[in-house]
Structure 1
Amino acid sequence: MTQRINIHQHSPNVIRQLIKLANEAAKDLDPTIKELVLMRSSQINRCAYCIDMHTKDARAAGETDQRIALVAAFEEADNFFTEKERAALALAEAITVLTDGFVPDEVYERAAKHFDEKELAQLISTIAVINTFNRLNVTARAEAGSYTPGQFAGQH
């Protein structure tokens, strides 16, 4: 599959603003939870570019290959993920898929048990922003593989 368009090249200000928004959204969010939800949303959206990116970032931050491999089956791998992590991943799935057009109360309440309102707002915002990145990259067919951890860290 060939890349259709390079959004980074042709809309650099949009990408810069999204990166700034992503940094603000996740500012005080636990970095492990952040990477887990970024990976899971990207898996659901089939965004190879973002899966590659967030897998590399998670590894660089010390995440294990085993946990990375099990993100897609987090509910069945409860001995690898805390209940807080599983609640965040369930919320990421619900927000990303919006199967019934809304996030079910049970999923929201599960997350609300583990995150205070500020953290929950940041978690929801982080999931919303990665979904925007996923949609841009999937539409553009951004090519996976070239990302290096921290590559966009200086772009604010």
Structure 2
Amino acid sequence: MTNTDTVSRLDFAQAAPKAFKALIGFDTAAREGLDPTLVELVQIRSSQLNGCAYCLHMHTRDARKAGESEERLHMVAVWEDAAHFFTERERAALALTEAVTLVASSGVPDDVYARAAAHFAQEELARLLALILTINTWNRIALSTAKIPGAA
């Protein structure tokens, strides 16, 4: 859904600084101990599913800075059909990302959860889940406030 005549919307960080800082803290805690490459893949996939151009632009840029290849970045959207580009652990995380991001449509299937649980220790799995929750929240903030990709 595109609206080229978007009305000026609020700056969430400025209008709700305590909520913004709390989300930053949650996001930081979620990332702790997770592979930075995995973090970016999860954030990219969730942003693709949510149609968040602002976050997709930010996280593909961050992934490139961290050394991620263009080839893998192009394959994230079709990761299931491009399995050899990703480790089994990354595929398990991407499957969980999709299930949690689209939770209203079919919940989080037991097999998807079990696949992730087989590749992540309980504490890691909890942080991965928190990461998926935070990127979904960031996506919703960016979409609700009409954040523009490439803009500050």
| The two structures share one fold, judged by TM-score above 0.5 | yes
Superposition CA RMSD, Å: 1.3
Per the alignment, residue 133 of structure 1 pairs with 138
How high is the TM-score relative to the length of structure 1?
0.89
- Higher mean C-alpha displacement, 78-87 vs 99-108: 99-108
Question: After the TM superposition, which segments of 4 or more aligned residues of structure 1 sit over 6 Å from their partners?
Answer: none
Q: Which has the higher helix share?
A: 2
Matching residue's letter, 1:126: L
Per the alignment, residue 142 of structure 1 pairs with 147
* Residue among 60, 70, 84 paired with 2:75: 70
* Residue among 51, 60, 70 paired with 2:56: 51
Per the alignment, residue 96 of structure 1 pairs with 101
Separation in 2 of the partners of 1:141 and 1:66?
A: 29
Deviation at 1:5, TM superposition (A): 2.4
Whether the 8 Å CA contact 2:99–2:106 is kept in 1: the answer is no
Specify every segment of 5 or more residues in structure 2 that has no aligned partner in the other structure, as ranges.
none
Question: What SS is found at the alignment partner of 2:60?
Answer: helix
CA deviation vs aligned residue, 1:72-108 (integer Å, no higher than 9, x gap): 1001111111111011000000000014452000100
Question: What SS is found at the alignment partner of 2:85?
Answer: coil
Matching residue's letter, 1:26: R
Counting only pairs closer than 5 Å after superposition, residues 105-116 of structure 1 correspond to structure 2 as: 105-116=110-121
Separation in 2 of the partners of 1:145 and 1:23?
A: 22
Separation in 1 of the partners of 2:68 and 2:44?
A: 12
Aligned length: 147
CA deviation vs aligned residue, 1:5-47 (integer Å, no higher than 9, x gap): 2212322332222111101111111111111001101111111
Instruction: Between the two structures, name the one with larger relative contact order (CA 8 Å, sep ≥ 6).
Output: 1
How high is the TM-score relative to the length of structure 2?
0.91
Matching residue's letter, 1:41: S
Between the aligned residues of both structures, percent identity stands at 49
